[in-house]
Amino acid sequence: MKHQLLFAAATAAILAAPTLATAQDSGWYLRGNAGYGVHTDTDLKGGLLGSNESEGNAAYSLGFGYEMKNGLRMELDGTSLWSDLGKIDSLPQSSAKLRTTTLMANILYDFESFGRIEPYVGAGAGISKNSFKAVASDFPSAPAGSPGATLIASPACPGPRSGSDSFACFVDESDTNFAWQLIAGLGYQVTDNLTWDTNYRYQDIDVANFDGERVNNVSGASSPFTADLVDAGSHTVMTGIRYRFGGSTPPPAPTPDVSCWDGS
């Protein structure tokens, strides 16, 4: 709930910002950015149990939008981030990976009072495709061949066990759900049409749901389960260029000074 209230407050602030704007050129633009991102720490619930801590990786974003004269920009934005989530609860014979690909509609506002430097803020909402791969398997208490080694039931793969059975839980699926983001950036006008664009963004995809399979490693029998990836989101920092199509608006013609006209 706190995240949704923060998103709503940020959107309201952006919509109110044009009252502070100065005149600027308008037009369609194309933006491309690349950088570094990391998924937030997540929890697994259901047929897979445990926590994950993401490693960072490359992030990419492409946007197409319209820049208005009042400082607002409306933009369609696609972003992709892949992360290795490492072991589930640091358990042996477990691993998880996550790729999020988002498509969002953004509202952004450029502050125009700093010359060629243009700080901006923004918010967006849309959908996220979440591709998740994970495995958690029962594991030996000691390296193979060690005397007294026993099989340990993986806490990440819950369920009944009997005798010498060994189990593994697998997920390899995608889920699409609602997502939102907050953006803070800095643009530098290289030319009237070309801007060097650097931004930070926080994306929130909340809960993603996946189907999985619990497999008996001895008999091969399997049973389905569902797993939830909870508190999923990401932090990214990217830089790139934004190109606005069309020419600059010429300055207005000077108004003739008629204060000295004597009427003759």
Which tokens belong to 48? 């897979």
pLDDT tens digit sequence for 87-115: 999 999 999 999 999 999 999 999 987 88
pLDDT tens digit sequence for 201-230: 999 998 999 999 999 998 899 999 999 999
Q: pTM of the entire structure?
A: 0.80
Radius of gyration of the chain, Cα coordinates, nearest whole angstrom: 26
**Do residues 65 and 33 touch, judged by C-beta distance below 8 A?**
no
The dihedral over CA atoms of 170, 156, 161, 146, expressed in degrees to the nearest 10, equals 100
Tell the residue number behind the tokens 């803070």, with chain if given: 184
Which tokens belong to 183? 């953006």
Nearest to 226 by CA among 47, 78, 73, 10: 47
